[in-house]
Structure 1
Amino acid sequence: MKQPKPHQTFKIGLPLFFALLFSCNAFAQTKILDSLLNQLAQHTQKDTIRVGYLVNAAWNMTHTNPKDAFKYVDEAIEISNQLNWPRGSISAWRQKGNLYYVMADNLNAMDAFQEGLKIAQTSDHKMLEASLYGNIGNIHADLKQNQKALENYFLYLKTARTLQQRPDEARALTNIGLVYGDLGNQDVGIAYLDSALVLAKEEKNPYFIAGIINNLGIMYKDKKAYNTSLEYYQQAADLAKESQIKYIEASALNSLGKVNLALGNLDEAKSKAEEGLAMSKEINAVEWQADSWELLSTVNEQQGNMEEALTAYKNHIQLRDSVLNEEKKAELTKKEMQFQLEKQQVEADEEISRQRLVKNVAIIGGILLLLASMIGYMLYKRRRDALDQKKLADFHTKVAETELKALRSQMNPHFIFNALNSISDYVVKNDVEMANTYLLKFAKLTRAILENSEKKWITLQEDLELIELYIQIESLRLQNKLSHTIKVDEIIDAENTLVPPLMLQPFIENSIWHGIANGKHPGEIDIHIKKEEDMVVCIVDDNGVGRRKTLDVQSDKNSMGLKITKNRLDIISELKKVKGSIEMFDKEQGLRVELKLPLELRF
């Protein structure tokens, strides 16, 4: 079965503070929100005081009801613009970005943060400007753009220290530590988190303290210092429970279960997984429920409780699929953002430059003609560069969409549930050995596909092993009605030759489901890999019913799989400047498919 998924880190968010209003306490938010809404009802005058109430009300709704909070920040932006009050506008735009961020809408979050940053950079509000760098750093960190994240976090830290703002300094230190941990430098990450923890304890903020301690547990777990990791996770769980921070408590309980599993403490791991599952259900955290079920599946399997392991694994699969659908959408969004953010940054820089230019023109009007000619050239060059960037962005968006669709197509839901039903049948028939064999093969294939989904290239040897495993599982499902051969010419070094993962899978699936499964005689699939000049030729040959007899019954999924494969081949051909091809040849009985790929070597 799959090992438990990676841990969940907690970036420290950026709450809003107004000098004329009290600070928000995260553990009395309901009471504070009621008070703020009463004050808003009483104070109807559109002034800076109302703006403060509006923004703080929206902040208190960030983690409980973000959708309904937008009307408050939008009114705050409108009033601040009417009053020409930069501080109110910056704070409102920043809070609007926070609302989008907690809703996982990073594109709109970045737009809001950059709107606030444009205003902050043309006014004298250094701490607000610095905090926006922290917000933008969070988005870069989510996109794994670690260098950009660190640049923004260090700008935030520098200003916080200069202005002696301890809460902001603690947030910056925490997020810097998390980025270093993500880069694999846990020792540096721990040093930053320790510094943040000292400040958090001085501020007596339970949410900060619990989140930082939980992150320290993650760092020590990654260092394989499991006993130290257990101590920090337990501290985080105890403090979160005491302060009723169920979000952190659920994560800490699951993490305690994973570390105990790594230490071989199966009973304790099971107990923590069950506690984490109960807490995750209470706060309706679907992803962590899936995490808990996966942990319970692994523990039960190691304890020999195969029926309980299978039930837990089915629950994990069901919940995980609902999470993965969103994660896959997020994956495409993130890939698109890598291009959109550059475009947005250019637009933001242009707007800031334009505003500064207006001021400079007023001061140095005597050289207006010279500046106009320089600006004209710059605008021409910028437009030309923007057009080039748009063409590149469009191409990479096609790459991102095709990669994501390929990931979806590789895990056909019908295949998953047919496999699980077959396993269930073996369990019902008390054929535990065959159920275990089927389950191990299925888990190995699932893990391998998910691990390779992030890779653009894998070795031919690895790809053929995946295909071999896929055919074995389908052969078990068809009760050994299927036989196959895989031949690689001696001239090809399978361990040194690179191919895109699972390019042949849609054709093999087509052969099995539409060529062989419905046939009356045993099926055969022959796979042959050979070299022709600078191309690798992959041949799939079957003895099924043939293409003509299956045209009326082929599924949309199969057609989509073939279309995605063609799109992937087009992209590879464009990148490598070598034309690949897919050709299909009808035989007297069966179908022959030839896929030609550019030869790519690892060394």
Structure 2
Amino acid sequence: MKIVIKYLLMFCLFISGMLLVAQNDDNFINQDPKFTIRGSVKESDTRNPIQNVNIEVSGGGYTTTDIFGNFKIEVRKGDELIIRHKDFETVYHIIQNDDDIQVEVEPNEEENFKLSKSKKISNTRKPETFNALMDSAKAYLRKDAKKSIQFIADALSESKSSKENSGAYQVLGDIYSYWKQHDLAVSNYRISLQNSNSSSVKLKLADAYMKNKNYQESIETYKDINRRDLSNWQLTDLYEGLGDVYLLTKSYNLSIGAYEDGLKVAQKHLITPKITDLNSKLAQVYNAKGEPQKAGAFFNKSMRLANTENKKRAVEEKIKVADFESEKNNYDDEIELRKEALNTINEIETTDANIENESPLTPQKQNYKIGNAYASQRDYGNAIPYLQKSIEEADSKEDLIVQKDATRKLSEVYRDAGQFDKALLAYQDYVDLVDKLYSRKEQEISQAARFSKDITSKQNRILSLESDRALSESKYQLSEEQAKRQKLIIYSLIGGLFLLLVGAFLMFKYIKQQRLANNLLALKSLRSQMNPHFIFNALNSVNSFIASNDERTANKYLTDFSLLMRAVLENSEEDFIPLEKEIKLLELYTKLEHFRFQDKFDYTINVDENIKVEDFVIPPMLLQPYIENAVWHGLRYKKTKGHLEIGIAQTKQDEIKITITDDGIGRKKSKSLKTENQQKQNSKGMGNIKKRVSILNAMYKDKVDVFIDDFQDEEDTGTKVVVTLKKD
């Protein structure tokens, strides 16, 4: 008998529910009592009332404003008031209470000029810069789509380059993406890329394609991105996005491959948030693929990683794992995870009051799911309190969807628990909530339609700006074609001038090479003149020994002379020889001269020990003529025995000085003793040296310097020759 009564009550409950649904419209009409509200519509700047404004209520009812701009109309709480007039944008207002409504409006942009002219109000405004308008657009991106889009339109009118256009359309795409208008987001990202190619915009375009369900276009865009242009974070985003698209198209193996590639980049560069996200997504794809064990392993890893980040991220991951456990009917694990998450959510709510009802991080959703899990275990005693709490929280936060679902579940739990009277009451509440939700959805659909209409209108206006800009660019290109012809003539003239300059440079280079060749030839000629002069003097010395019947001395002299001659002839083709070799030649030559004039002078050759003689080079036969002059024209005529000194010292790191001094009769007295023929010979020899030094300095940038002066102020003044030699 009890079983019959139970099923009879259940049948009555079902019939009552059906009747309540059938009476949905009547319940909605009688849901809240009507009341009258008063209001007024005025201009915001002049405070003048506006007559004949259309006042409409979404649930029915219509009136207009009088000559004073006032109106009154019957409404219910939750109704939407629609205020329309041709001179301003339509205003929408949700009725919350019976307070009077004061509406202040601004004229439409199209009427600005006419209204300002009739009222004689100055409408001059300093135009904002492109960057300022873009900053304003970004500031309103998440608050007011219409304002943000209007700022973009204004910014485009101020744009002066393709780069600025690209930036503006990119932000416009961001606006549409945030407000879930993905088709418009795609259009504007594409326009942005037409103005300026950017890998970061391509990433956004690929994501917009995916959200607009253009999966193949999304995959192609991701693959077309040049990965070298991306930062490590962006590269991880690319692999993650590619994995998301493959998951949506059920290409699970490709999705796993993309996620794993992204995980490698994230781990290599220690991008912690992405490591957590990709482990979580790998878990989801393995779960979708039907491999719950692998999914569980990745979920455990992602949850451990999330716990090392902030509380919000940790609780998000915990809820994902709870959903996973629910799918596997592991209700105990699910309940434990959701209770832990619930405690964290309550902590987060105390610091972050901006958690929206759409977020999974709401206590009403988690309480509902805990109650649902208990109900699945037939633990009605624990299920009922959580469902009741979910309903209370959803009611306080106006989350009708969760409130409706929790109320229906509570009715089912009461029914299954045998509490049919409570089940009926809960079901009645559920039907009322369905009515409220239906009414709200109608308003949301109406608002969404208006929103879509508004942004489409603004988008069309922006596209017309883009068309105007494209037309202006085409006109500009036509003028550019005309300018190109003039540029071609100018460039031809510049090209001709350039060729002349190149020709002049080649000519200069040729002349320089010829000059170098002439200098080399001149040096060779001068060296060839030095050798006969030297040989002639040496042979005179040999002849004097033979004339004096001193054959032994002549033979010894001739032997040393042959060594010297061989070295001189070997060096005759060189511009420079090592300083070390020149010193040996000087020692040999001075030894020969001293051998002949032993009674006339002594000599010393001093080389500074600190000099690295191997680092310096010197023109061959440069010093010999000065030593020869010192001996033959200075010391030979001295009444007493003289002295010849050759000193080599380093004065700077890259410079040495070679000093040849004698205390002979001096240049002036020597000149007076010479015959006319001897003066010519000496003049030619010294002139030869000067020419060689001059040519060498021209070729090697002042490498050699020669200075000749009197040695002292005594009777035998002597001569001092200083040769300065620079390192290469």
Normalising by the residue count of structure 1, what TM-score does the alignment of the two structures yield? 0.42
Normalising by the residue count of structure 2, what TM-score does the alignment of the two structures yield? 0.35
